[in-house]
């Protein structure tokens, strides 16, 4: 039987039966006349070199309802930027931001001089500046975003991701994508083994706080696929670190009524690169991700009025460990009935590392609870620098001529 269960505090759209993609795309084409759609693609050069990004762009050639595609290219030399720019030159309504270019660096310096820090280089900044460019063009009413390392990309993904917020007959203003991550084994360790047990541990200590119930309602809170209305993109602040996805959900919670938020099943399975887990290096891979996510959750809870103590952080790590270890057993049994490979020793090792990450995050937050890595929203940028949108468009236009 197909899953149609509605749980949690937000609406869930399921994948029930075979999708009529042709019908869905025709509706989106009609809806986009009222609500034009822009697509943001934060990408590293290596995702182009691996073939993942070209595959995605090839699939998007067949999509006729997207008005703008904005690729923000990171970690690329001038030669690599030209290569990517030329490769995609035949794509219509395509714009590329060279995040490492001298002109973009000058814009970031301008922001710094005006106490509007654009944060450090990374996915958060790339998403933020690409959102700014779509907003600067002042045409798209809907903005979608997804990662560029998806190996098995299918255009049904973007159609289902956009539909809930593009449909003029619906009330939703923010949509989060979710999916299953498995091949011959289960993936999604950061979600399965860290995030969900961590939220459950916080709930066990603090009780069913509205924010925790909200976060627990998402089936894949760490997914990078979202769509939203333009007005939300203007006022939303996003983190510049690995806490991007969770921080975005926190900002949506702060700015939106719950009945305006939904999630949608966008793929039968989803395959992309797997982050390394380096137990003795808290500055890389999944361990850093878990630390940044933990600090983001702590900051949001503090803003909600939760008072923390050093004792709570120690207790939290222990409770997380117990819940996560029990969760591993559940996943092992789930894998067995589906004939999937499962390495209990490796999974328990991940849990041990994540528990250390929670301690590191707790110590960092306790030392400086007011520290924030949230980037300024675009309403503030344009209020302080009314000409910034024009400068951004000029920069992208001049870089295109390189």
On whether residue 221 sits in a domain, the answer given is yes
Predicted TM-score (pTM) of the model is 0.94
* Two structure tokens written together for 366: 């306790």
* Two structure tokens written together for 265: 């099943």
Residue 20 pLDDT exceeds 80: yes
Number of domains in the chain: 1
On whether residue 198 sits in a domain, the answer given is yes
Residue 381 pLDDT exceeds 90: yes
On whether residue 70 sits in a domain, the answer given is yes
What CATH code is carried by the domain that includes residue 227? Answer: 3.90.550.10
Distances (CA, A) of 331 to 197, 199, 363: 13, 17, 30
Q: How far apart are CA 71 and CA 98, in angstroms?
A: 9
Percent of the chain topping pLDDT 70:
96
On whether residue 2 sits in a domain, the answer given is no
For residue 17, count other CB atoms closer than 10 A to its CB: 7
| Segments forming the whole domain that contains residue 154 | 11-396
On whether residue 1 sits in a domain, the answer given is no
Cβ pair 151, 271 in contact under 8 A: yes
Q: How far apart are CA 11 and CA 1, in angstroms?
A: 20
CA dihedral (47, 52, 58, 61) positive or negative: negative
On whether residue 109 sits in a domain, the answer given is yes
Cβ pair 73, 84 in contact under 8 A: yes
Q: What is the strand order of the sheet 94-98 is part of?
A: 11-13, 261-267, 174-179, 226-229, 142-145, 37-44, 66-74, 94-98
On whether residue 49 sits in a domain, the answer given is yes
Residue 3 pLDDT exceeds 80: no
Residue 133 pLDDT exceeds 60: yes
On whether residue 5 sits in a domain, the answer given is no
């Amino acid at each position: 039987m197909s899953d149609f269960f509605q749980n949690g505090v937000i609406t869930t759209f399921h994948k029930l039966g075979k999708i009529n993609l042709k019908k869905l795309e025709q509706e989106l084409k009609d809806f986009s006349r009222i609500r034009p759609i822009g697509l943001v693609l934060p990408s590293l050069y290596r995702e182009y070199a691996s073939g993942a990004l070209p595959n995605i762009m090839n699939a998007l050639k067949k999509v006729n309802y997207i008005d703008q595609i904005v690729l923000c290219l990171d970690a690329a030399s001038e030669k690599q930027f030209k290569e990517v720019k030329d490769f995609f030159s035949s794509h219509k309504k395509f714009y590329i931001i060279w995040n490492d270019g001298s002109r973009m660096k000058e814009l970031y310096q301008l922001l710094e001089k005006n106490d509007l820090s654009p944060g450090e280089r990374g996915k958060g900044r790339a998403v933020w500046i690409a959102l700014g460019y779509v907003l600067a063009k002042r045409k798209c009413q809907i903005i979608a975003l997804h990662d560029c390392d998806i190996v098995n990309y299918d255009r049904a993904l973007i159609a289902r991701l956009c539909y809930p917020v593009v449909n003029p007959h619906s009330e939703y203003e923010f949509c989060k994508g979710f999916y299953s991550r498995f091949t011959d084994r289960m993936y999604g360790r950061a979600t399965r083994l860290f995030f969900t047990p961590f939220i459950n541990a916080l709930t066990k200590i603090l009780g069913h706080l509205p924010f925790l119930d909200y976060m627990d309602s998402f089936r894949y809170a760490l997914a990078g696929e979202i769509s939203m209305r333009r007005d939300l993109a203007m006022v939303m602040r996003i983190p510049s670190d690995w806490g991007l996805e969770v921080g975005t959900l926190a900002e949506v919670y702060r700015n939106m009524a719950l009945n305006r938020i939904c999630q949608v099943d966008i793929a039968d399975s989803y395959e992309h690169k797997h982050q390394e887990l380096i137990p003795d290096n808290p500055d890389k891979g999944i361990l850093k991700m878990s630390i940044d996510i933990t600090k983001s959750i702590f900051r949001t809870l503090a803003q909600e009025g939760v008072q923390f103590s050093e004792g709570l952080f120690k207790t939290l790590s222990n409770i997380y460990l117990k819940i996560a270890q029990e969760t591993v057993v559940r996943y092992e049994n789930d894998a067995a009935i589906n004939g999937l490979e499962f390495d209990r020793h490796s999974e328990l090792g991940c849990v041990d590392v994540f528990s250390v990450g929670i301690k590191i995050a707790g110590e960092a937050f306790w030392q400086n609870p007011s520290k924030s890595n949230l980037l300024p929203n675009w309403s503030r940028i344009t209020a302080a620098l009314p000409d910034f949108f024009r400068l951004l468009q000029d920069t992208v236009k001049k870089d295109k001529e390189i």
